[in-house]
Amino acid sequence: MAISALQAALIAAWVAIVESRIIGYTLSGFLRFTAVGTGLVVGLIMGNVPQAMIIAATIQLVYMGVIAPGGTTPSETVVATAVAVPVALASGMAPEQSIAVAVPVGLLASYLVSFRFFINSLITHWVDRLAEELNDRGITFASIILPTIITISLFFPSVFVAVYYGASLIDSFLKAIPASILHALTVVGGSLPALGIALTLAVIGRRDLMVFYFLAYFVSLILKPLNVNALVYAILGGIAAYLYVALYYRSAFEENNANSENVSSSEVPQYEKESLPQNELKVTEKDLKMTWFRWWLTVEVPHSFERLQALSFQWAIMPVLRKLYGKNPEELKEAYKRHLVFFNTQGTWGGAPILGITLSLEEQRARAIAKGEEAPDPNIINATKVGLMGPLSGIGDSVEWSTIMYLLIAIALPWAKSGSAMGALFPLILFPVITYAYGYYFLRMGYRLGRESVSVLLGGEKIKTLITGLSTLGLFMMGILTSNYVSVSTPLKWTISGKVFELQAILDKILPGMLPLLTVLLVYWYFTKKGLKVLKVLGWMVVIFFVLGWIGVL
């Protein structure tokens, strides 16, 4: 099977659009960090969804736990998948061998992403001038449309070339290399899921809950012959998580009830906005909806090393600012400029409440100015944004990207592994929908309660319980994935006085699936002792498992 120019162009266009991030924060993030969504699209383009899903699932396992704190990932999963899947389909490679294409491509692509941040930095000063001129259309072009075009023109040609010429290159390469090397590549591909799983374990980072990982691992070993459906595992994990949270945290709840009651029922309502007569200096429900949509859609589009998300923040609230300060060009100019300074946070958990708080503060200020009263100092607005963006992004990166996203992926992976499109559709639809919905809820809360909303968001026992429950389920699903999809086994055997001793059979007698579990735990242990050096571990694992496979130990 060959790849036509049209197919290569369609795949390249897909990657370019995902990389431009113009399809929304949690949708483009999902597609960038994970493999299954792109696997499905490539499968549709290549006319072989089942095999594409199987290959994408294999790649996915290596890249579990990949997120982008600070904007760049150690490896661009979307590019790795978009190149490796068609190449593997066209050359008939085994799914494990496709890892050999995915890993180097993903590493190279992360340089392209850094380059994009650099280019975006050049735009920022132009946006400053446009803000000075109050040129809204110009700002939309410079902050949103131009970065989109730039990224598309960076990624389209490079991915097109890699996909179109990659297949024949890899094909002739495969024919030329000896079987022992092919075997070694398969061994590497089989072991690398241990990296993805260990990374997810480390990022969820709840050593107190690791028992659920082991529980799931052995439950799944027992149930393996029954060929249990993916959802059954998720439900079992859900029950385990519920039981744990109900038994352990319920008691903590009751002890703290007195405190949390205070926060939630007596303090908070004081911050409720008194219902003011509708006038033009009022931020309406419609304004909140529109602001959230503009932000969610473009958070990462003009991301640059210099200002990070400042340009999208300003663009998101630009219409509301115009409404509030429209009659006062000097104030409007100042407002545009104060929201163009460095801003960086996690888009939903940080961006949403901060946007709400900002709108509420700007509204207060605009009203005071209109009435000729003393207006709140604009420095307070900036200090609030800057103070909150850090801690909220920490929680957002841990909960949303590291836990919720990979939990959905883990639940869907067995479907993907069996070649079903459900493996992609399930997380691809659920993740953006869930995050969009609660993000809007957070934004409204920020607007209504001001900065106290953050205490409610972070301090509530409900949130803590939910996070613990999700972490428990996440670790449980990692146990299931370890026992099903990490393959490390040895073909070694000895003949001693006529009797054949197979090492793997002996190991299985001691503890079935010992080697995969050990591999994951070793990597996990390294991460917790030496820090999350993902690339270093990736490099060493490739070398070690390649050599072990090549000399026939594995």
Q: What 8-state DSSP symbol labels residue 63?
A: T
Q: Binding of another protein at residue 143 (CB under 8 A)? A: no
Q: Which amino acid is at 475?
A: L
Find, among 196, 193, 210, the residue nearest to 402 by Cα.
196
Applying CB under 8 A, the span of 66-74, 92-100, 239-247, 329-337 interacting with another protein comes to 66-74
Q: Given the structure tokens 């859900």, which residue do they identify?
A: 238
Question: Could you give the CA distance from residue 392 to residue 493 in angstroms, rounded to a whole number?
Answer: 54
Q: Which is nearer to another protein, 173 or 525 (CB)?
A: 525
Q: Which is nearer to another protein, 150 or 185 (CB)?
A: 150
Question: Could you give the CA distance from residue 287 to residue 295 in angstroms, rounded to a whole number?
Answer: 12
Q: Binding of another protein at residue 120 (CB under 8 A)? A: no
Residues 371-400 interacting with another protein (rule: CB under 8 A): 387-398
- DSSP SS3 for 48: coil
Question: Could you give the CA distance from residue 71 to residue 397 in angstroms, rounded to a whole number?
Answer: 11
Residues 286-325 interacting with another protein (rule: CB under 8 A): 305-307
To which H or E segment does residue 361 belong?
helix 352-371
Q: Binding of another protein at residue 148 (CB under 8 A)? A: no
One of 61, 202, 428, 480 touching another protein (CB under 8 A): 202
Beta bridge partners of 500: 495
Minimum CB distance to another protein, residue 284 (Å): 28
- Helix 285-298 / helix 310-325 crossing angle, nearest 10 deg: 160
Applying CB under 8 A, the span of 148-156, 326-334, 370-378, 454-462 interacting with another protein comes to 454-462
Q: Binding of another protein at residue 450 (CB under 8 A)? A: no
Say how many residues make up the chain: 554
Q: Binding of another protein at residue 92 (CB under 8 A)? A: no
One of 114, 229, 256, 262 touching another protein (CB under 8 A): 114
Residues 524, 525, 531, 536, CA torsion sign: negative
Q: Binding of another protein at residue 76 (CB under 8 A)? A: no
Q: Which is nearer to another protein, 327 or 536 (CB)?
A: 536
- Please name the residues in contact with 478: beta carbons below 8 A apart, sequence gap of 6 or more: 64, 197, 200, 201, 204, 213, 216, 410
Q: What does residue 231 show for φ and ψ, rounded to 5 degrees?
A: -65, -30
Residues 341-370, mask of contacts with another protein (x by CB under 8 A): -x-xxx------------------------
Q: Which amino acid is at 215?
A: L
Residues 203-262 interacting with another protein (rule: CB under 8 A): 203, 205-208
Site residues for another protein per CB under 8 A: 67, 69-72, 74, 114, 117, 121, 202-203, 205-208, 305-307, 342, 344-346, 387-398, 402, 451, 454-455, 458-459, 464, 467-468, 527-536
